[in-house]
A and B are shown apart, each in its own frame.
Chain A
Amino acid sequence: MKAFLTSTGSFLPGPPIDNDEIENFLGRVEGKQSRLKSRILKSNGIKTRHYAIDREQRTTHSNVEMAVSAARHCLDSSPVPTRSVGMLSCATTQGDMVVPGFGSMVQAELGVPGVELLTTHGICSSSVMAVKAAANSVRLGEHRSALVVVSELASRLLKSTRYEAAGGLAAMDFNSEFLRWMLSDGAGACLLESAPRGKCLRIDWIRSFSHADAFPVCMGIGSPTDTTDARTWQDYPTYGQAEAAGALLIRQDVRLLEHMVKLGVDGALRLIEEGVLVTAEVDHFLCHYSSHHFRGKIADLLVMSGANIPQDRWFTNLYTRGNTGAASILIMLDEFLRDGRASVGDKILCMVPESGRFNTAYMHFTTVAE
């Protein structure tokens, strides 16, 4: 059996925030402007993003509220009634509640009865895990429809008060500040069905390759600033002590990021070798990573080995919608499809390289008509 992606939706909280306004929302650590901000923004190329917090760093939309708004946006564009959704497959990096699972909270707020529920755990690629599980469920014939909802509220982690509680400017470095100028908030959704509906996407395959066995953590929350301290956040007597030790800050080991590009290419080469992926046939490439990272020697190598996808086939909205972690790929797909960019017969490749501990995920679709 096959599965078809028949509708998409997204939600971005509040107005777009430009680079000069970021610190008015996230706050200034110890009242001082960041000295690294412009350098990091220049490298990630993001121009505008959205935050679910206001200028006083109060939450304006919960993660669940954003998720439900994206889900409604998706279902409002489809004749499938909410109550008939068979499976609800959700992903987020951090829900509003620590437990129960994010999916339970989304189900409650969305009001969909008796669904099979899944919440995947991880970072950016958890969205693809959620899509794959939903697609497999439809393919197996267990459900006629499955709704995937992915939402991120990273800004709560990036507030100036978080850094002040962890030792302030004196305790901050490039790795702890990097994601402050990278991540923002938003939600995406898609509906999968067992039969095509109108112009839609047939799911050809979804694959991923994880490399956690070989490489250290590259992006994470839970370890203290002192790298010789092996404790993680719950090992401290109190959460206050964990926060003071920097164990609740989100960090990126920037030096390890180069592995992400290579492992992204490695996964694509594996799929080419298997005969699953033919890059020359890809009409549209949606990548949750800026194209300028694939430059220089690796770009030349892709061209020479016939594995390149020309720049004019890339589509991204990272620069205007921001990097919304796991939600990004669905927010991107939503804008891409609503713009009417896919014609019947077009093949679409999505790639989500997750730096967390290096998981690279790929989805391949063909545009079909009912």
Chain B
Amino acid sequence: MTISRPLALSELGQATLRQLTRAWFGFERRLALVPIVRRLDLGTFTLADYQQLLLHLRPQVVEGSRWISRCASSFDRDHSDIRSVVLGHANDEHRDFEVLESDYVATGGELETIRKQPRNIGSEALNAYLMFRAGEPNPVGLLGAMWIIEGLGEKMAGNWAKRVEELTGVGRGCTQFLRYHANNDDSHMNKLYGLIDRICTRQQATHDVVLTANVVGRLYALQLEEIDGAQ
């Protein structure tokens, strides 16, 4: 059995998708208030801002592959179809951080500096939460985490990358990480629809997925807020 886009979602599946969409809009709204994102919106974002953004994203991106792998191993044989999707995902992203490091170096940063960068308060909280949830048996709620993190990947690719180049004057060679998720739009959405259909068959699962999406969004925003908070 493989997970693919269903022809239509069940009533509960539709309600889940609506709630996830609201969670995403709530996250975008919160992001718009984060100082570094606001500077990007208002056009006052600088090269130093971009370097800080990369520095603060790296610790979480390095850990990202770990929680996804742990999540995969927490699904039992009755959930092996979900495990396959998560494993594929872990494989896709487990070396993302190298792209990010190379972008940082291309902007004139030192490789050693970015490798030494510790997690900020938000990254610490986000990572701890994701690792905890990933260790629970059959952690279906993490579909909500995927929803937010993949949505952000698309936003970075479709929205932030060009804006960063425009405002700081850096070339495409410096924004490869931001652009990374640009090309798999449709397949990602189809996979998410398939997972909603597979997972959200009970109200409890929907509640779990939406709660996780909201927590992850809140902690991700905290991670970005701390870019200014830590300075």
Contact = CB atoms under 8 A, between A and B. Distances in A.
Interface of A: 211, 213-216, 227, 255-256, 258-259, 262-263, 265-266, 269-270, 272-273, 297, 300-301, 304-307
A58 B98 CA distance: 63
A214 B33 contact: yes
A216 B38 CA distance: 8
Contact of A304 (B17, B33, B42): B17
Contact of A297 (B9, B25, B159, B189): B189
B124 interface: no
- 6 closest Cβ pairs, A-B complex: A306-B14, A305-B17, A266-B25, A214-B29, A305-B18, A214-B32
B32 to A, nearest CB: 5
A305 B9 contact: yes
Nearest to A253: B41
A216 B41 contact: yes
Contact of B18 (A255, A262, A307): A307
A74 B60 CA distance: 61
A266 B22 contact: yes
Nearest to A211: B29
A304 B19 contact: no
Contacts, number: 58
Nearest to B42: A216
17 contacts: A213-B33, A215-B29, A215-B41, A216-B42, A255-B163, A259-B32, A265-B21, A266-B22, A301-B17, A301-B189, A304-B9, A304-B14, A304-B193, A305-B18, A305-B21, A307-B14, A307-B18
A273 to B, nearest CB: 7
Contact of A256 (B18, B33, B41): B41
Contacts of A304: 8-9, 14, 17, 193
Interface of B: 8-9, 11, 14, 17-19, 21-22, 25, 28-30, 32-33, 38, 41-43, 159, 163, 185, 189, 193
Nearest to B17: A305
A262 to B, nearest CB: 6
Nearest to B6: A304
Contacts of A266: 21-22, 25
A302 to B, nearest CB: 9
Contacts of A214: 29-30, 32-33
Contacts of A300: 189
A215 B31 CA distance: 10
Contacts of A255: 163
A263 B41 CA distance: 17
A259 B24 CA distance: 12
B159 to A, nearest CB: 8
Nearest to A268: B18
A301 B21 contact: yes
Contacts of B14: 304-307
A232 B159 CA distance: 29
A227 B43 contact: yes
Nearest to B16: A305
Nearest to B197: A304
A213 B33 CA distance: 8
Nearest to A213: B33
Contacts of A263: 25
A273 B22 contact: yes
A297 B33 contact: no
A213 B30 CA distance: 10
Nearest to B193: A304
B185 A306 contact: no
B125 to A, nearest CB: 22
A211 B41 CA distance: 15
A211 B32 CA distance: 11
Contact of A269 (B21, B28, B30): B21
Given A258-B159, A269-B21, A301-B17, 11 more contacts: A213-B33, A215-B32, A216-B42, A227-B42, A262-B25, A265-B25, A269-B22, A273-B18, A297-B189, A305-B14, A305-B18
